[in-house]
Amino acid sequence: MKISQKLISGILGMATISVIVGAISAHQQLKIAKYLAQQEAEEVAGLLGYFVSHELEYHELRSRKEMLAQLQEHVQSLHKQRQRDLEIVDRNKIILADVVTEDIGTRLDRDRNNEVGKTIQDGIPRTYVESSPEYPNGIQLIAVAFKTNKGETIGAVILEYTPLYKAALATAEKNIIVTLFISLGCSVFALAAGYLLSKSISKPIKQLQLAVVNLAEGKLDTRVSIRSQDEIGELATSFNKMADDLQYSRNELVNANEQLRDEITERQEAEAELQQALKELQKTQIQLIQSEKMSSLGQLVAGVAHEINNPVNFIYGNLEYTDDYTQQMLLLIKLYQKHYPYPEPEIQNANQLNDIEYLIEDLPKMLTSMKMGAKRIREIVLSLRIFSRLDKAEFKTADLHEGIDSTLLILQHRLKAQNNRPQIQVVKEYGEMPKIQCFAGQMNQVFMNLLTNAIDALEEAFQKELCPNPLIRISSEQVNENAVIRITDNGSGIPKEIQSRLFDPFFTTKAVGKGTGMGLSISYQIITEKHGGSLECISSPGQGAEFVIAIPIRAGKLAQSSIA
């Protein structure tokens, strides 16, 4: 609650107390008026009682009829003087005297609640309302005990209460009016004084409050202009001094903050440049290492393939002639056996010693096996050359299925059964997919990295007895304008918390010495940056892992920029 409200509430409370005191005083005056009316009624009853006692004491010889007649004269006299209804009853509520003479001698039956009877019994005056044909709205009466001067109750005196009350009220009315006017005046004066006092106090306090709010909102140039010599004036002076000090401190702090902000900005810019330089350096380092690695590997593979290719081609080419020559020689031997069935003993001994029949039967089989082996060597050499792609290093159309098959041929030794695990089964589900424009050698590198990781994951899962039948599934399909290749294994899977870091440089989950953390990172760069595609990992613990490659079938803008 505000101070002005508190002051007004206090003054209003004082005014209310004044009004309450006035009301209590007026109520007391009314009670006094009632008391005076009751006293007058008791006085009348006492006078009549005194009359009756006097008549009984000094006029004992007078008859009851004469005494009642005399009492009736007193009632009539009082009625004429004060214009009030008056009647007297005995203890049995028989009317002894009344303004209405016809009622004398009858029983009082208009007292429904027996108020008169109760007053006769206990002597306590009572007021009640009597309804009659003469007074359809009712008339208020007061019953007072009718006693002798010796205190003996012989009946009751019933008077009209309203005139008595009005007469007493007229006496107290002036005091009531004066009391009410004084209370009302005190209340108005208290309210006016309280309003002026609260206004004189609350106005400067409101100025101070508004200044404090403005100061809290940052308006440090706020000042108050209160020139009074009281405590509020001293408070205003202290506030202005505090505002001056606060504004000075704020200016100093703002200058320091600006200087610090400039230094922080410069440092952040330097750190950002360092971070960017570090990223570029790491990226360049990875590319250099991988380029050197793949260049060396490609040169080695290409050199070996070239060196093997020449003698293999020589052997494979001469095997055809050797087979022809051998068939001719065998035909000549058969002709000799046909036309000279009985050769010389020396020839027969040589025939038996060398088992010419077996040689004739086995030599063609041997030449066929040699041709198959030479053909197999030629296929391996061709796969090595396809994988190295030194003869097709530029961006051109290539068959991805051919690259996958050559990669699988190179990794055949790792797919075979080992001492500590069974053979890894490879299921190829190739769909209809045209040749695409890509860097064939780099795509083979991606296939090599993904298949090598799948083999490592299957070996680890088999050692943990989580994968009794290791399997790699390779599927391909065309989705819209993209070639999509999926390489899936049934190993132990990859936890979700590390899936987001799989393609980060140097991040690896393998033991020390078994991985560099660059394979997936380089594969991601080849797919996304070189070919404008996407590489995604889908895996759940215990459900294996699936790597999805999607690249445009035709060269996009990103791939064209890579070519440039």
- Tell me whether residue 195 is in a domain: no
Q: What domain range is 496 assigned to?
A: 391-564
- Tell me whether residue 197 is in a domain: no
Q: Which segments of 393-439 does DSSP mark as H helices, in order?
A: 400-410, 412-415
Tokens found for residue 485: 């290749």
Give ∠ CA 24-26-32 in degrees, rounded to 5. Answer: 105
Tell me how far CA of residue 13 lies from CA of 17, 20, 187, in angstroms.
Answer: 6, 10, 9
Quick one: pLDDT at residue 385?
A: 65
Q: Which helix (H) or strand (E) holds 393?
A: none
Quick one: pLDDT at residue 548?
A: 95
Phi, psi of 492 (to 5 degrees): -85, -5
- Tell me whether residue 385 is in a domain: no
CB 526 within 8 A of CB 439: yes
Neighbours of 106 (CB within 10 A): 13
Hey, which bits of 367-507 come out as E strands?
395-398, 425-429, 436-439, 471-479, 482-489
CATH of the domain at 473: 3.30.565.10
- Tell me whether residue 261 is in a domain: no
Number of folded domains in the chain? 2
Domain boundary at 185, 213, 242, which?
Answer: 185
Cα(263)–Cα(266) distance, rounded to whole angstroms? Answer: 5
Q: What number of CA atoms fall less than 13 Å from residue 451's CA on the CB side?
A: 29
Cα(38)–Cα(317) distance, rounded to whole angstroms? Answer: 158
Domain boundary at 156, 185, 214, which?
Answer: 185
- Tell me whether residue 205 is in a domain: no
- Tell me whether residue 337 is in a domain: no
Which residue from 390, 482, 494 is spatially nearest to 445, judged by alpha carbons? 390
Quick one: pLDDT at residue 293?
A: 59
Burial 226-263 (b: 16+ CB within 10 A, else e): beeeeebeebbeebbeebeeeeeeeeeeeeeeeeeeee
DSSP 226-268: ---SSHHHHHHHHHHHHHHHHHHHHHHHHHHHHHHHHHHHHHH
Quick one: pLDDT at residue 391?
A: 43
Cα(564)–Cα(353) distance, rounded to whole angstroms? Answer: 72
- Tell me whether residue 235 is in a domain: no
- Tell me whether residue 297 is in a domain: no
Burial tier of 393 (Cβ tally within 10 Å: 0-12, 13-18, 19+): middle
CATH of the domain at 135: 3.30.450.20
Domain boundary at 137, 165, 185, which?
Answer: 185
Q: Which helix (H) or strand (E) holds 101?
A: none
Interhelix angle 3-58/161-216, rounded to 10 degrees, is 170
From first to last of its 564 residues, what are the pLDDT tens digits of the chain?
455 555 566 666 666 776 676 677 666 666 666 666 666 666 666 666 656 655 555 445 456 677 777 777 777 777 766 666 777 888 888 887 777 777 787 888 777 788 888 888 888 888 777 776 666 677 777 788 877 767 788 888 877 766 666 666 666 666 667 776 777 777 777 777 767 766 777 677 777 777 777 777 777 777 777 767 677 777 777 877 887 888 788 888 888 888 888 889 888 888 888 888 887 777 666 666 655 555 555 556 666 666 676 677 777 777 777 778 788 887 887 887 777 777 777 777 776 666 677 777 777 878 777 877 777 777 677 666 666 554 444 677 888 998 898 888 878 888 888 888 899 999 999 999 898 888 887 888 889 889 988 998 898 888 888 888 999 999 999 998 899 999 999 988 888 888 778 877 766 766 555 555 677 888 888 888 888 899 999 988 888 899 999 999 876 444 444 444
Distance between first and last Cα of the chain: 79
